[in-house]
Amino acid sequence: MRTLENAVVVITGASRGLGYAIAEELGFSGAKVVVDYVKSKGPAEDLVAKLRAGGSPEAVAIQADVSDPAQAARLIEETINRFGRIDVLINNAGINIDRSLKNMSVEDWDTVIRTDLSSYFYTMKAALPFFLQQRSGTIINMSSLAGEIGNFGQSNYSAAKAGILGLSKAAALELARYNVTVNALCPGPIATDMWEVVPQEAKEAIMKKIPLGRAGTCQEVARAVRYLIVDGEFMTGATLDLNGGWLMA
């Protein structure tokens, strides 16, 4: 069993939603959390203040748009400069621009792929020298049920999330010899701000596909992340599904 106490954890897109809940779960367990954000400086700093008061006194917020390779590298560099190491990288940053293929522009495609997939490569590439030097590390890539089954009007998002699964498996094969694990987490519908704006009729249609009959919570996803870090020493190249039974492999 590994420990979160004093572990240096970088979470991209951590100022809201799933990233926020993951930061709380890990920070309150004693991890030194790096809260990455792009524009939400206020919420990121509020989260850091909460973490510092609740068990992560060295938590810090760093502004970096990880869809830009230079900024992704700077995020890792600033983490190393501050803490001297990185133990866990959680790639969570993501956006969606939903349109049918007929109406989707090249820019819509490129923006989502760059943020939801390429950014994962950028941060992993930047962190890799430090993981290899330490001969230890944990990488968790947030994918989605959409990457497994596809979603109408989300060809860009679904493609990015599917790409994360392939990236995670390939990286797991390459990095196992260095004691670095790489796993993907695939949530189904989760009760975030994005879920709240889904029309009720659409929600009801989705609920019919979920045997457990409800959306998941951010805290449930955060606890799954904690499991992969603390108890998942023998898991690598795996896809962990949290979808209430919607997809059963």
For 59-76, letters b (16+ CB in 10 Å) and e give: bbbbbbbbbbbebbbbbb
pLDDT in tens, 84-123: 999 999 999 999 999 999 999 999 999 999 999 999 999 9
The answer to the question of residue 3 being in a domain is no
Inform me whether the pLDDT recorded for 232 exceeds 80.
yes
pLDDT at 198: 76
pLDDT at 103: 97
Question: CA separation (Å) from 153 to 76, 97, 118, 150?
Answer: 34, 9, 21, 9
Q: Is the dihedral of CA 79, 81, 82, 87 positive or negative?
A: positive
The answer to the question of residue 120 being in a domain is yes
The answer to the question of residue 54 being in a domain is yes
The answer to the question of residue 1 being in a domain is no
* Confidence band for 71, pLDDT divided at 50, 70 and 90: very high
Instruction: Determine the average pLDDT of the residues in 33-43.
Output: 96
Percentage of residues in the chain with pLDDT exceeding 90? Answer: 91
* Confidence band for 2, pLDDT divided at 50, 70 and 90: confident
Q: What's the 3-state SS for 109-124?
A: HHHHHHHHHHHHHHHH
The answer to the question of residue 77 being in a domain is yes
Please say if 157 is a catalytic residue.
yes
* Structural domain total, the chain: 1
Inform me whether the pLDDT recorded for 249 exceeds 70.
no
pLDDT in tens, 172-225: 999 999 999 999 999 999 998 777 777 888 888 999 999 999 999 999 999 999
The answer to the question of residue 25 being in a domain is yes
CATH number reported for the structural domain that contains residue 97 in this entry: 3.40.50.720
What rounded mean pLDDT belongs to the chain? Answer: 96
The answer to the question of residue 166 being in a domain is yes
Which residue range is the domain that position 180 belongs to?
Answer: 8-242
Q: Is pLDDT larger for residue 27 or for residue 204? A: 27
Q: Is pLDDT larger for residue 196 or for residue 69? A: 69
pLDDT at 199: 82
Catalytic residue among 20, 120, 122, 157: 157
The answer to the question of residue 130 being in a domain is yes
Phi, psi of 230 (to 5 degrees): -85, -45
